[in-house]
Amino acid sequence: MSSKGKDLVTGHDAEHEYEAGLAVVAPDAIKDPGLEPHRVRMTDKSEKHAKNAERQVTAMFLASIVGSAFALWAYFAFPLSPTDLGTVRSNTLFLGLGITLGLFGIGVGAVHWAKTLMPDAEVSEARHQTRGSEETRARAIEIIDLANQESGFSRRKLIRRTLYGALAFFPLPGIIIFGDLGPNPADSLKHTMWRKGTRLTRDPYGTPIKATDVTLGSVFHVIPEGLNESDHKLEEKAKAAVLLVRVEPEILKESDERKGWSYDGIVAYSKICTHVGCPVALYEQHTHHLLCPCHQSTFDLTNACAVVFGPASRPLPQLPITVDAEGYLVAQSDFTEPVGPSFWER
């Protein structure tokens, strides 16, 4: 042990010195005094302390057994009751605490054992440069040369190049085979369920909304009528969700072409953020701003939902609405532009 502990062991391969680059190699650097002398622990000096440490380690291992046994007991002692969800908490807590003690006992015991009773004198071992010796490297090159000669890899160009070609082509079917992961979206992203005359209904129940139900300042989360019966409910909802708000008609700044899109101060805008598609679900009544909780893009409801803050760029698309003969709010058409996050060919 002590002979190995000497730090004179060296693994330096004198045969290869590397460039030091910009490093300053000072000729009069302060000399390495070698490993500091080992400090003896109490447990090394006194049998009493060693015995004590032994008892401590044993106690920890015993505690581990107790912990594991407790966990076994807790598994049965704290069953889950379908009527009392508090049982989930006690099951999790006591089972977990038991296992914790089972684990800690072993871990702390082992580390304590190593620190108090196993030798703590650091030893030094030679470290060799990663690079192989000149002899090894020469032999490696020889083997490669031999393999090359025996196979004719460099010499037989035609074989080599066609092999490269084959290797380049063979993965292609392996890529194209994933083509059916999903269809080409084509125009599906540009349309939603809204049609001329589709009633605006409450999310999630699907009950129609009368214009008179929408009081000043109130907000309705809206889905198109028939969405809940749709085959692709979530996909349709992810495009067709709408937010409906009523404000004083005179504060709406409407362009000429959108003059007829609102009804008596009631406006409907897509709820899907034009940034990355989160629902723009927060409405601030006194500023008339809509806020997306994901990235805080903010839209001005009175000004055609133009972006006033945040990473989004495009206004929320507006759904043209009116009322039908029974006074229910209906769409005049689908959205006139794609809703949701931007994409290249939109």
Partner 1 sequence: MSTATATKKKGGFLAGTANYLDERVGVAGILKEFGRKVFPDHWSFMLGEVALYSFLVLLLSGTFLTFWFQPSMVPVIYDGVYGPLKGADMSVAYSSTLDISFEVRGGLLMRQVHHWSALLFVAASGLHMLRIFFTGAFRKPREINWVVGFVLFVLGMAGGFTGYSLPDDLLSGNGLRIIDGMIKGIPFIGAYTSSLLFGGEFPGEAIVGRLYSLHIMLIPALILVFVAVHLFMVVIHKHTHYSGPGRRDDNVVGYPLMPVYVAKAGGFFFIVFGVIMLVAATFTINPVWSYGGYDPSPVSAGTQPDWYIGWLDGALRLAPTHLEFMVGNNTLSMNILLPMVVGIAFLVVVALYPFIEAWVTGDKREHHVLDRPRNAPTRTAIGAAGVTFYAVLWAGASTDLIATQFKMSLNHVLTTIQILLIVGPILAYIITKRTCLSLQRKDREIVLHGRESGRIIRMPHGEYIEVHEPLDEYEMYKLVDFKAYQPMLARPNDKGVITLRSRIRAKLSGFFFEERVEPVTATELEAAHDHKEIH
Using an 8 Å Cβ cutoff, are 321 and 261 in contact? yes
Tokens of 192: 């939603």
Supply the minimum distance, in Å, between the C-beta of residue 68 and partner 1: 12
φ, ψ dihedrals at 186, nearest 5°: 45, -125
Q: How many residues interact with partner 1 (rule CB under 8 A)?
A: 111
Query: Which is closer to partner 1, CB of 316 or CB of 323?
Result: 316
Q: Which of 2, 3, 11, 172 binds partner 1 (CB under 8 A)?
A: 11
Decide if residue 19 touches partner 1 (CB under 8 A). Answer: yes
Q: Residue 91 to residues 81, 82, 264: CA-CA distances in angstroms?
A: 10, 13, 58
Distance of closest approach, residue 322 Cβ to partner 1, in angstroms: 23
Amino acid letter, residue 224: P
- Residue 114 φ then ψ, to 5°: -65, -40
Distance CA 218, CA 203 (A): 15
Q: Which residues pair with 268 in a beta bridge?
A: 244
CA 126 from centre of chain? 43
Q: Kindly tell me which of 71 and 267 has the beta carbon lying closer to partner 1.
A: 71
Exposure string of 317-337, with b = 16+ CB inside 10 Å and e = fewer, is bbbbbbbeeeebbbbbebbee
Could you tell me the two tokens for 202?
Answer: 């409450």
Give the per-residue contact string, 309-328, with partner 1 (x = CB under 8 A; - = no).
Answer: xxxxxx--------------
Neighbours of 241 (CB within 10 A): 22
Query: Can residue 111 be called a binding residue for partner 1 (CB under 8 A)?
Result: yes
Query: Apex CA 344: angle with CA 343 and CA 346, to 5°?
Result: 70
H or E element at residue 189: none
CB of 247 to partner 1, least distance (A): 22
Which x/- pattern, by CB under 8 A, does the window 280-309 give for partner 1? -xx----------xxxx----------x-x
The Cα 164–Cα 160 span in angstroms is 6
Position 238 contacts partner 1 (CB under 8 A): yes
Among 15, 134, 235, 248, binds partner 1 (CB under 8 A): 235
Indicate which single residue of 15, 122, 145, 248 sits in contact with partner 1 (rule: CB under 8 A).
Answer: 122
Q: How far is CA 282 from the centre of its chain?
A: 25
Only segment of 102-110, 145-153, 157-165, 212-220 that touches partner 1 (CB under 8 A): 102-110
| Cα distance between residue 279 and residue 295, in whole Å | 11
Minimum separation from the CB atom of position 209 to partner 1 (A): 15
Considering only 59, 65, 69, 80, the residue that binds partner 1 (CB under 8 A) is 80
- CB-nearer residue toward partner 1: 199 or 239: 239
Which region among 79-87, 138-146, 259-267, 315-323 touches partner 1 (by CB under 8 A)?
A: 79-87
Work out whether 88 is an interface residue with partner 1 (CB under 8 A): yes
Asked whether position 231 contacts partner 1 by CB under 8 A, the answer is no
State the minimum distance, in angstroms, from the CB of residue 3 to partner 1: 13
| Binding of residue 340 to partner 1 (CB under 8 A) | yes
Q: How far apart are CA 63 and CA 101, in angstroms?
A: 7
Stretch that binds partner 1, among 17-25, 150-158, 165-173, 317-325 (CB under 8 A): 17-25
Enumerate residues 6+ apart whose C-beta is below 8 A from 301.
245, 247, 267, 269, 283, 288, 289, 290
Within 162-201, the residues that bind partner 1 by CB under 8 A are 178, 181-185, 188-189
Among 40, 62, 69, 110, binds partner 1 (CB under 8 A): 110
Shortest Cβ 120–partner 1 spacing (Å): 8
